[in-house]
Chain A
Amino acid sequence: MATDNISEAHLYAHKEADMTKQKIWKVFFYLLGLTALEFIIALGFVETGLVAKSAAVNVIYIILTLFKAFYIIAYFMHLKFEKFGMKVMLGLPITLLIYMIILVLIEGHYIGLHLYK
């Protein structure tokens, strides 16, 4: 059994040469850039009062966060180079979760508006 696993591991061990050192650092600078952008918005615009803290700003934060999540999952966790079936297996449940998040946030907002008023 153990030998089976090892031979199987050998089959898949060397197919990931496509993630070179150069690419890793490139992704790192993307992540750093996106984080820096969030800080510039938070400290440079919202904190100084140039832009009011609003839902629109929050949407920008969330979009930047999703971009960061994409880079981590696709390149660092290597999902971009896996088979299509595996991407669907892992991606579909998470996508459905977004629907749940929207529903629950709307519910929470509604209760906040009406319950104690």
Chain B
Amino acid sequence: MNATISKLDEVKTGNWSGGTSPFKVEYGKIMMWLFLLSDAFTFTGFLVAYGAQRMFMQDTWPDPDVVFQSIPFITDTGAPLVFVGIMTFILIMSSVTMVLAVEAGHRNSKKEVVTWMILTIIGGLTFLGCQALEWTHLNHTGFWFGAIPDSYQGAQAMGATQFSSFFFAITGFHGFHVTVGITVNIIILLMTLSNVFERRGTYLMIEKVGLYWHFVDLVWVFVFTFFYLV
């Protein structure tokens, strides 16, 4: 009897019995990964709906090279992919500065973390600004949620309406994610500046925020391919 009780009271140390983390990853980081997985499902849902509609209306779908061919302040026509190329570069760049901030965090180097975080935030804001310009331009040419330019008539109008609504919904949702990412980055920057992680002794928070930021970049890679290239 006594032996059984002491057996029950024993501190469990096994991987799968609650003693240690089986993945050797801190709790908050695993939760961030799981959140990102569910977020990936959301974006997949959007993109799958987009893909199915596009396959359905293949013949009437507008050509992306015709829709996106402006560079704000420079030219309104004749430059497909250039502006979105710049946007993609900015987002990849800000992903690199983020991972450099994480790397600096591993060395507990507060100064470097602050520098890279500021650059990441600037990158994110620049991307959002570019997206605002892109939206404004498309809105001026006549595209909006459920609205299309008059140049699309008859069967063409059906594909164009679908395209327009999907474009604004998906890039809008992505832009919302970028906005949240920038906000969280700013909060983390302020926490770094006020020595919260210095006192805690670990910059693990930078990693968690970094995961989210890379995910935003990851989604853009897919949005870029399926809206602009394909």
A, B assembled together: yes
Point out residues on A near B: beta carbons under 8 Å: 5-6, 8-17, 19-21, 24-25, 28, 31-32, 35, 38-39, 42-43, 47, 58, 61-62, 64-65, 68-69, 72-73, 75-78, 82-83, 85-86, 89-90, 93-94, 97, 100-101, 104-105, 107-109, 111-112, 115
CB <8 Å contact, B51 and A101: yes
CB <8 Å contact, A61 and B229: yes
- Whole-angstrom distance between the alpha carbons of A90 and B211 in the complex? 13
Which of B25, B52, B54, B204 contacts A86 (CB under 8 A)? Answer: B25
In the assembled complex, the CB of B190 is this many whole angstroms from the nearest CB of chain A, namely 20
CB <8 Å contact, A65 and B55: no
Nearest 6 pairs of A and B residues by beta carbon:
A108-B52, A108-B55, A112-B56, A109-B55, A13-B202, A65-B225
CB <8 Å contact, B222 and A86: no
Main secondary structure of the interface of B (DSSP, over half): helix
CB <8 Å contact, A9 and B202: yes
Residue of chain B at shortest CB distance from A34: B221
Given contacts A61-B230, A85-B22, 4 further A-B contacts (CB under 8 A): A16-B207, A76-B214, A89-B23, A105-B55
- Whole-angstrom distance between the alpha carbons of A85 and B20 in the complex? 14
Q: Which stretch from B5-13, B98-106, B128-136, B176-184 is at the chain A interface?
A: B98-106
* CB neighbours of B25 from chain A (8 A): 12, 82-83, 86
